[in-house]
Amino acid sequence: MDGEVAVVTGAGAGLGRAIATTLASAGMAVVAVDLSLQAAETTVAAVTGAGGRAKAVEVDLGTANAGEAIVSAAAQAFGRIDVLVNNAGIYRPGGRLPDLDWDLFERTCAVNLFGPLRAMIEAGRHMQPGGRIINVSSMESLRPSGPGIANYSATKAALNALTRQAAVDFADQGIRVNAILPGLIHTEGTSGAAKQMFDMIAAKAPSRRIGEPRDIAGAALFLASPASAYVNGHCLVVDGGITIS
Ligand code: NAD
């Protein structure tokens, strides 16, 4: 994938950083998009320190012009987009029904659903045939792990549907669209969770461990590479078997 360009949102931490550095190590120039410019710059430093090319961009995926902002930053930095990874997402328990936090529900829709949608629309206008889009969803889209996360599980389930629809809609342009559904992964975002819960889930999971960001980065590399040329409109669960345990 030498000479190609990948845009990774939420690239300043966790899964996004691992995906960005992995795609860079496969030869891609990376546009690291994040709410925090400082966090994105840390990822850029990791990429350039390893001899790669990267550019940090500050964009809030929950805003109306996020798609245009990302695409114009990528065009300015590297002149093209071959891969879009819609990774940025928020996980904040939003109240158990019927006591829903509407503001949080709407913000979660904006970041987890409308952000990826806007980015796909704008990137899709600029991608050449052969472009790839990868949406980072969640195993919570298949079954809630507990009460009070309707905002999260509903937006991620909608993202799965959007992934399949986008694969159909972008077919004539030769753009493939797939999603990754991570299980529970050690990241900054999950660092507040109780160790006891991690241990319990790991003990039950067929892989007997919680996931690491490299597990998801490996799946993203597969979906970005020609090795997955015939995989399209697919939602790939990467969870060490948690959802079947
Ligand atoms: P994280 O919280 O560790 O990192 C998320 C990054 O995204 C941060 O750098 C943050 O600044 C950025 N971000 C947040 N809101 C943003 C916005 N509005 N615009 C731009 N950037 C924004 O998260 P993570 O654990 O690495 O999760 C990444 C993705 O994977 C999310 O979509 C999440 O829902 C999904 N996911 C994570 C897990 C897990 O166990 N870690 C499991 C399933 C799905």
Give per-residue pLDDT as tens, 19-31.
999 999 999 999 9
Give per-residue pLDDT as tens, 92-114.
999 999 999 999 999 999 999 99
Looking at residues 12-41, what average pLDDT do you find?
A: 98
Residues 6+ apart with CB under 8 A from 61: 9, 10, 33, 35, 88, 110, 111, 115, 116, 118, 119
Tell me the CATH number at 114.
Answer: 3.40.50.720
For this complex, say whether ipTM is above 0.90: yes
Range of the domain at 82: 5-244
Give per-residue pLDDT as tens, 42-66.
999 999 999 999 999 999 999 999 9
Spatial separation of the C-alpha atoms in residues 213 and 187, rounded to whole Å: 7
Looking at residues 114-140, what average pLDDT do you find?
A: 98
Task: Using most ligand atoms within 8 A of CB, pick from 34, 41, 149, 198 the residue to mutate for ligand 1.
Answer: 34
Spatial separation of the C-alpha atoms in residues 196 and 239, rounded to whole Å: 18
Spatial separation of the C-alpha atoms in residues 12 and 2, rounded to whole Å: 23
Looking at residues 147-165, what average pLDDT do you find?
A: 97
pLDDT of residue 66: 98
What percent of the chain shows pLDDT beyond 90?
A: 97
147: preceding bond cis by omega (within 30 degrees): no
Bridge partners (DSSP) listed for residue 5:
29
Residues with CB under 6 A from ligand 1: 9-10, 12-16, 34-36, 39, 59-62, 87-91, 111, 136, 138, 182, 184-185, 187-190
What is the tally of structural domains in the chain? 1
Task: Compute the Cα dihedral for 145, 245, 165, 8 and give only its sign.
Answer: positive
